Amino acid sequence: MSMVLSGDMLFSYAETYLNAANRLASMENREYREGDWNIFAMPLLFLFRHYLELGLKACICMKKEKEILKVMSRTDTSSEELLRARKMFYEKLKCTHDLLKLVEDMKKCFSDREGSFSVSVQDYLNRLSSYDKKSEAFRYPFDTKGNLSLPEPIMSIDEIKKMIKETSCELNSIAIQLIEDLYPLNTAFLNKIKR
């Protein structure tokens, strides 16, 4: 994936998965018998996990876009800064499905706490990653050997809903701040190239 697909566009895809997860979560209103948990929870967790993966990648992209635009929109940019920005522009986003690797990549992009998550959200990310490191466990009810991907419920439906709410609130907050930061930088850059 290259920077041609902008971070805010990628985040729009992420939001669509989140909207689908929230709609599915709002439809659930019954108790599940043993074995039924997978029927509802697996699609819900798949949608939410995919939102997280795309959302983290989008935030990494937007942070890089922000740094590039900061350099490119200034008039006093040094050649070293231009080279660093050029390298960042052509650097491809790591194509991984591992949420924890994406969180680590995100931490590297952010110099302070603006890209960090609360302890409870980090715990949710750790738990999701431990059950589905490669984005395969929530996709299918069975593994390649015919065994249930998740033979037992990993958390209650109410806890899944709470996780979705808390985690998406924090990730969306980071993304929205990045989108707001990008607007004036895009404007400044466009004004610079119009001259």
Query: Domain of 79?
Result: 7-194
Confirm if 178 and 56 have CB atoms less than 8 A apart. no
Domain count, the chain: 1
Among 139, 150, 137, smallest CA distance to 34 is for 150
Please indicate, yes or no, if residue 2 is contained in any of the structural domains: no
Q: Which residue has the higher pLDDT, 106 or 114?
A: 106
CA pair distance 91, 103, nearest whole angstrom: 18
Chain segment 66-90, per-residue pLDDT in tens: 888 888 777 677 778 777 777 776 6
Please indicate, yes or no, if residue 1 is contained in any of the structural domains: no
Listed range (32-36, 60-64, 100-104, 115-119) with the worst mean pLDDT: 32-36
Residues 6+ apart with CB under 8 A from 77: 71, 85
CA distances from 37 to 41, 54, 60, 148, 155 (A): 6, 25, 34, 12, 10
